Amino acid sequence: MMPSQSRSCLRWFTTTMHLVQRTNGLFKRTETLSQGSCDFRPRILIDVSKIDMTTTVLGFKISMPIMVAPTAMQKMAHPDGEYATARAASAAGTIMTLSSWATSSVEEVASTGPGIRFFQLYVYKNRNVVEQLVRRAERAGFKAIALTVDTPRLGRRESDIKNRFTLPPNLTLKNFEGLDLGKMDEAADSGLASYVAGQIDRTLSWKDVQWLQTITKLPILVKGVLTGEDARIAVQAGAAGIIVSNHGARQLDYVPATISALEEVVKATQGRIPVFLDGGVRRGTDVFKALALGASGIFIGRPVVFSLAAEGEAGVRKVLQMLRDEFELTMALSGCRSLKEISRNHITTEWDTPRDSPRPLARL
């Protein structure tokens, strides 16, 4: 990548990292965690000379509760694509989630070396394709399935329509090569929308979560939950965990930001399965907010893709280290020495009822 391209990508990355929300009339899409959504209540005079950020996710120990979300077609951002992201996540001691629509296959990502990896799954109309893909992920050493459940149809992505989005001719959806499903044809509006309409199963239901359990022993995370009602059903359906996600605010206008939906989902599960947050995290302080509201960890997507575009593997390593350092500092300044010490008492939110105010002194 030429230096001028790198600088351009870096400006794009910096601008987006500080984007809070985009609002125009009745159109509203909120993906990032609103700056005013949470305020901290730090505790003082606590020995924070040692901070432990390690945690366990589905039985796998990782260095921090910050993981890599599934983001599609990463070779559009950088020639190394998912290879670079996989190596960076492994070096950081954390989990990478590979998208079904990756431009590198499950086998290719596994070949980059050791690492804990999850596989994000879209359910195709042809269930034989789904079964093959899940079994390939198992053989390649992936440790869990993140089932995306909020995309029976693709949301109206107006930028994609305007740009007539499609994959460049030199790239394919590598997991589907040889199945006549790897190419994305050009369309009058969005090639991706046409692809989804033709291939993704709109009949997907809770029965299919149970069906997946019959074809794999891998734990299944349900990705795309925003309500307590669906969280309770996910528990009943045997999900191993829930990922609170609004799909980067690209599916349905007026859904809440992930941080706003998180606590309702956590309360509904009653601690029976872990809840994770995917989307909107831009700073280490955001990680702290999510954990204080009950998340067991968070996934980041856009920061990874933008840093990948700016500097390849080195960029992804850098953004993971930045978030780690910011999160560690936030823990220290809040008086928390381990993740288990982060509690709801460490934050107030815009939806809290006012705390009791001190009673006025009685007149003498």
d(CA 264, CA 89): 30
- Cβ atoms of residues 75 and 306 within 8 Å: no
What token pair was written down for 247? 């799909």
Q: Tell how many helices (H) and how many strands (E) occur in the chain.
A: 11, 14
Q: Which two tokens stand for residue 122?
A: 């879209």
Which helix (H) or strand (E) element contains residue 89? helix 81-91
Contact 185, 195 (CB under 8 A): yes
Q: Is 18 a catalytic residue?
A: no
122's torsion region: left (phi>0), alpha (psi -120 to 50) or beta? beta
Per annotation, catalytic residue among 18, 78, 247, 346: 247
- In single-letter form, the type of residue at position 54 comes to T
Question: Residue 234: CB partners within 8 Å, gap ≥ 6?
Answer: 209, 222, 225, 242, 269, 273
- Active site positions, annotated: 247
